[in-house]
Amino acid sequence: MPPSPTERLLAEFARLPVTRNLLAQVKLGAHAKAGGLWGASAGLLLAVLQQHHKGSLLVLTADDVDSLQLQTDLAAFGVAAHVLPREETGDDGEPDAATRSERQRALQRHRTDRLPLLAGIEAMLQPVATPKSLGRAQLALHQGQKLERAQVLGRAQAAGLRSVPLVLAPGECSVRGDVIDLYPMGAEAAVRLEFLDDLLESIRTFDPATQRTTAVHQRYELVLGTAAADQDGPVLKHLVPPQLLVVRYEPLRLDERTARVVAFDSTFAHRVQQLQDSLRPCPHVDVSSLPSHDLDYKVLSAGSAVGSGEADPAGRLRSVRGVQGRVLLFCRSDDERQRLQEIFAHKGVDLAAEKVDLLPGGISRGFRIPDLQTTALSNVEFAGVPQQARVRERVAVPSRAIQSFFELGPGDLVVHAVHGVARFEGTELVHRGEGTEEHLRLCFQDDVKLLVPASKIHLVQKYVGSGGGAAGVGRAPLDKLGGKGFQRRKEQVQEALFDLAAELLEVQSRRAPVQRPPYPQEAMERDFLDAFPFRDTEDQARA
């Protein structure tokens, strides 16, 4: 079977004299500097290093944006990689559960498959749960197993999972009768365990945002992880330094970012020194887009984004390629690839004659390798549309309990998980025995007050309906403490949701068998679409 265009590009790039020289230096454990790598060609070099290095790669970047960009470029060249994100903090100063879980998950995957690990310098310096602490918190489950619920809950509490009414984020657990929901730190998904007395009846993974089951398992290895900061250690404990190849991506930006991190928090200076001392015996490669006096690739830009490849594909090919050479167009999806094929066919461009290959994958920026007479660019660049930088998107939690007093102000409406709608009046200290604890003071109907301890703050959720502020109290009447009105409203809402779902299913069943003839093709429609330089939405790409 002949090699694919991507495989051929990797092989040709590896045979370049400068690449052979670099691989020889890496094999000897030297520190090399490779420059002149424009755009996604840095990812191409990393893919070659991954193929020829017997150990694993640790790529240090300036921040998460650079890490995600390199991950996209590596995927286009057939190499998967893991990104270690920076751990963020919430408004209360506590570590963000989602990013903490993502960090543990990335390191667990790297320890399993030894694929390249991409880490910003700040993410590399932040502590993470050690392999020893993660290994202690494993629990093998199988359907029909004799298992006490108290044992599972005890293991969850020992791992630091917080008890909540409804599991929505990593590091949480919930108990509802014979059902235990767990979302361990570092887990791929939340897990729902259903018991019948001491018999484990079913094991399911579910989506916390919708609470819907995503998969049913006969056996499941539950890795509870840890949320305890006292069990954290350096990231290097998850790596194997003797087999590690350290790559510094854009060293000038990396050094600048390191200096800013140390200036912001002086405690990072000691961590930076420890990191440098630990990685010093490893072979190093500095990868830069700037020219290098050591090893210079002389990779060029693929040309400006001026001009539309959709309106004039032949002219666009000449502008980015020149008279000779081949062009590799990387398309982010199969739909975009098919659309590009239609444009070339409509304009009468023979891809084989023009030496053009349409490949799957997205690259950050195109590049031209004169020594290989090869130009690579994304379909977005070919269309003449500037590509936006990829950022890490955080999952939006649809609704959850408040995390601190700072989310509430006097007069705000809140919803107690048991008693219903109340008005938050403030906080007060309550002395009990030798202890003192902060309490939320809630006012219900008939001016009845209820004090909620700070340890039970997860039972209180901010009211998000109409009239949620102090001015909207009249539009959201307070519930009676101990009354049944709140429970009846919840049951009515549940029935209304079932009725709405039934109506939607009925409408869809009526629409499904209805067919109509397609609209006639307009003569100017294709020319208009080809000449319009728009960025397709997800719906447009699927269509």
Average pLDDT of span 317-328: 78
In the chain, residues under CATH classification 3.40.50.11140 are 300-383
- Cβ within 8 Å of residue 370, ≥6 positions away: 298, 300
pTM of the model: 0.68
The domain defined by 405-481 folds into: Thrombin, subunit H (2.40.10)
> If you ran DSSP here, which 8-state letter would residue 446 be given?
G
Q: Which of 409, 483, 493 is nearest to 444 (CA)?
A: 483
Buried b or exposed e, range 499-522, using 16+ CB within 10 angstroms: eeeeeeeeeeeeeeeeeeeeeeee
- For residue 238, give the DSSP letter: G
* Domain formed by 5-127+234-295, architecture: 3-Layer(aba) Sandwich (3.40)
CATH 3.30.2060.10 fits 137-229, yes or no: yes
Q: How would residue 398 be classed by pLDDT, with cut points 50, 70 and 90?
A: very low
Q: Measure the CA–CA gap between 65 and 61, rounded to whole angstroms.
A: 9
Where exactly does CATH 2.40.10.170 map onto the chain?
Answer: 405-481
Give residue 32's Cα distance to chain centre.
32
pLDDT above 60 for 331: yes
In 3D, which of 186, 102, 192 has the Cα closest to residue 141? 192
Question: Which position has the higher pLDDT, 85 or 412?
Answer: 85
Residue 219 pLDDT > 70: yes
Q: Using one digit for the tens of pLDDT, what is the confidence trace for 435-447?
A: 677 888 899 988 8
State mean pLDDT over 311-317: 76
Residues of the chain with CATH 3.30.2060.10: 137-229
Residue-level pLDDT at 88: 84
Q: By the 8 A CB rule, do 340 and 383 touch?
A: no
CA distance 156 to 289: 48
**In this structure, which long-range contacts are made by residues 21-25, counting pairs with CB atoms below 8 Å and at least 24 apart in sequence?**
21/295, 22/285, 22/295, 23/48, 23/49, 23/52, 25/283
Nearest to 50 by CA among 100, 96, 119, 117: 117
Class of domain 300-383: alpha beta
CB 134 within 8 A of CB 184: no
Q: Distances in Å between the alpha carbon of 360 and those of 3, 75, 515?
A: 15, 10, 34
Give residues with Cβ within 8 angstroms of 388, minimum separation 6.
none
Query: Start-end ranges of CATH 3.40.50.11180 in the chain?
Result: 5-127+234-295
- 197 pLDDT tier (thresholds 50, 70, 90): confident
Higher pLDDT, 89 or 107: 107
